Structure formats: C-alpha cells, structure tokens
Amino acid sequence: MIDGENDDSSNDGKNHVNTDATSPASSVHAEFSHHEFSRLVQQQVKGQLTDSEYEVINVRSATFQIESNRVFHVQDLSADMAVNDGASSAQLLSRDTVVLEAVSLFPSAHSAVVLLRVFFKFAQTNYFYIDEESIRKRLDKFYSYPTRVGIDDTAWVCVSLMIFALGTQFSHLYQSSARSSCKERMRDAYSISQAIDDTLALTYYRKASNLIPDILAMDSIESVQAFLLFGIYVLPIDPAGLSCTYLGIAIKAATQFNMHQKSDRDLSPREIELRKRVWWTAYTLERRICILHGRPVSVSRLDITTNLPTNLEELQPKDQINTFQNNMAMLKLTIFMEDARDGM
C-alpha cells in the first residue's frame, strides 16, 4: 500500500493511498432521487391495487413532492442570501484583545528559545507537527521587532503557546541530557525548570484553548497544527476522550482545507511537503487512537488522494537529527495496524 518514495508530479496512481476515490455507488446514489424511487415503487404495486387506491397514492405522492420542492427552495434561497450578504467566518472572530492577552503570557525571548529547543528535541521525534524554521522566524520577529498582534495572528500564537506548554513538560529531560553538553545550556535548562512547572504549562494550555473558537474559523495549516498539539498535550491524561476529540478536529480542519487531496494550487515544493507531512501526522495519530480505543475514524482511506511525504532537503532540521524515517515508520505501522483490525 505504501511505496516509500514518491513524486507529486506523477499521475500513475501508485503513490497515494487511494487511486479511485469515486465509486460507482456514489454516482448511483446521486441519481436515485426520492421521486425516482416513488415512481419505481408505484410501478411495482400498480397491478395489486384498485383504481381508487392507486389514485390516492398518486395524489399523496404529488403533494409530498410539492412540499419537498418548497423546502429545498427555501434552503437554496437561504444559502444564496448568505453568499450575497458577504457572510463569512471572519465575522465570527474575536477582537484583537484576545490575542494580545495570549501573547502577554509568552516567556522571555531567552526562555522561548530554550523551550523551542526542548520541543524539537523531545516532542517532535516520531511525528511532524511544526516546521522549525517557520516558527523560529515568527518568534524571532515577534521578540526582535515588537509589533501589535491582531486576530489574524491567532493561529501561530496558539501554536506557540502549545509549543511552550509541551516544552515545559519535557524540560526535565533536556536538563538531564544537557549534562553531557555545555554547562551554560545545563544552567539555562535548570533555571527554567525551577521557574516553570506543570502549573505554568497548564496555564499556557488554558490560554491557548481560549483561542479555539477563532482558529476553528480559520482555514489554515496552522489551525490543524494547533489541534494536533492540543491532542498531544492531553494524550497522557485522556487518550480516548479529549485527545481523541482534538485529533478528530485536526482531521476535520485538514479536510476542510483539502489537505487530504492532491493540491492543484500554485504552491512551492516546500508548502506542498508541509501540507503532506501535517496531514499524515494527523492521520496517523487519530488512526492509532481509534484503533487502540475502539473509536470510529473520521475519514475513510478511500477519500485520501494526497501523496506520501518525501524526504525534502529544505525541511531537514539544521541542529537536530532528521526524524523523517521515524515519521514514515509510524505511518506504515499505523496502516498495518488498521489493515489487521479490518481483517479481524
């Protein structure tokens, strides 16, 4: 099912999970309307009814069809009015003060750098959540040239808060491993671990969760990444409940953004690869929890047409071990587990 290396430009159907997402059943279903069904039923029973009984059925069927058409007309009219009035999810977003309150909780620039290092060293090992270069540039710009943030910054601010929360959780591991590295880094990790604990990590999480209504209304890859980090944060606490819910939302947000399909947009190879890696991480995590805890999955593999990730040089970490093979191993193992479950 997985061929390892792939090429986005190929159309031979060998590089993605499903090569034919459109089944004959779907086209039959689309044409088999209620009116057609009623007509076929009437033909079947016509010979078994008297003329008066058959006339009653015809009248009732016609009345039902008129009412159905009226309902569908009202629904279409409502949809048209929403479009014509310029209704959009942007009208549902909060004020800028919500984001300003969130960034007020950011740690100092020095602490943020250490927490980022901890996150990418210990939290992002078997899965790909965040592009390290992108988030570092965001935070460098924020700390170096303080500017007013607004509601449009909600997604990356939420992602940053969750990185700080997860970095805090893993800071004790960084402190231990730092003993074999330079003493200055060890002192940095030690001082941070003394100053911030699980309570502050929970504070980061709660502040980030205040932004959920806004990131739900934003179709972006960062929204998907935020929900992935939410799911990972609560995974040790409630894997089958809250974590599964967060990961399910991540999948839904990704499908809303069409990350499960081959992109026909004008994107760079780096952007395409980011979309693929985040999608397959969401897929892998949600699938594993659903398999292990008996939950229904959010999307069928038959609906997925995007290619598998590739080891793009641009996304290889600069100061960390390249974990791409870990990511692919977890994906292959998850698909193997799913096939085994379906074969039972």
307 pLDDT exceeds 80? Answer: yes
Q: Hey, how many other C-beta atoms are within 10 angstroms of the C-beta on 290?
A: 19
Contact criterion met (CB below 8 Å) for 102 and 229: no
Residue type, 129: Y
Sequence-separated (6 or more) residues with CB below 8 Å from residue 260? 254, 279, 283, 299, 303, 304, 305, 306
Stretch 268-296: mean pLDDT: 95
User: Of how many residues is the chain composed?
Assistant: 344
Q: So what's the pLDDT on residue 175?
A: 63
Indicate the pLDDT class of residue 13, thresholds 50, 70 and 90.
Answer: very low
How far is 42 from 140, CA to CA, in rounded Å?
Answer: 71
Reply yes or no on whether the pLDDT at 92 is more than 70.
yes
HSE-CB for 109 with a 13 A CA cutoff: 11
Higher pLDDT, 87 or 339: 339
Greater confidence (55 vs 285) lies with 285
- pLDDT score for 266: 87
Please state the three-class secondary structure of 223-244 as a single string.
HHHHHHHHHHHHCCCCHHHHHH
Whether the per-residue pLDDT at 299 is higher than 50: the answer is yes
Q: Please report the pLDDT score of residue 101 as a whole number.
A: 94
* pLDDT classification of 81: cutoffs 50, 70, 90: very low
* Phi and psi angles of residue 307, each rounded to the nearest 5 degrees, phi first: -75, 165
Helix, strand, coil % (nearest 5) of the chain? Answer: 70, 0, 30
111, 191 Cβ separation under 8 angstroms:
no
Show the tokens assigned to 86. 């310029």
Per-residue pLDDT tens for 43-57? 665 666 666 655 655
- Give the pLDDT confidence score for residue 48 in this predicted structure: 64
DSSP for residue 90: G
Q: What is the pLDDT of the chain when averaged over all its residues?
A: 80
pLDDT at 95: 82
pLDDT band at residue 320 under the 50/70/90 scheme: confident
Q: If you average pLDDT over residues 295-301, what whole number do you get? A: 91
* 203 Cβ contact list (under 8 Å, min separation 6): 105
Which residues make beta-bridge pairs with 307?
16
The predicted pLDDT at position 11 comes to 46
What pLDDT was estimated at residue 72?
A: 47
What's the pLDDT score for residue 53? 57
What local confidence, expressed as pLDDT, does residue 209 receive? 97
Banded model confidence at residue 84, pLDDT cuts 50, 70, 90: very low
d(C-alpha 18, C-alpha 22), whole Å:
10
Task: Indicate the pLDDT class of residue 321, thresholds 50, 70 and 90.
Answer: confident
Contact 129, 274 (CB under 8 A): no
Unique residue bearing structure tokens 């398999």: 291
Per cent of the chain over pLDDT 90 is 56
Confidence grade of residue 202 (pLDDT, cut at 50, 70, 90):
very high
Look at residue 215 in the predicted model and tell me its pLDDT. 94
Report pLDDT for 183.
57
Beta-carbon contacts of 165 under 8 Å, excluding residues fewer than 6 positions away, are 201, 202, 204, 205, 208, 229, 233
Amino acid at the residue 234? V
- For 214, the enclosing helix (H) or strand (E) is helix 212-216
Residue with the bigger pLDDT between 265 and 287: it is: 287
Report the Cα 172 to chain-centroid distance in Å. Answer: 29
For position 89, what pLDDT does the model report? 67
pLDDT tens-digit readout, 122-171:
999 999 999 999 999 999 999 998 778 999 999 999 999 999 999 998 88
Residue 36 or residue 241, greater confidence: 241
Q: What does the alpha-carbon distance between residue 133 and residue 143 come to, in Å, rounded to a whole number?
A: 15
Residue from 18, 22, 5 nearest 262 by CA:
18
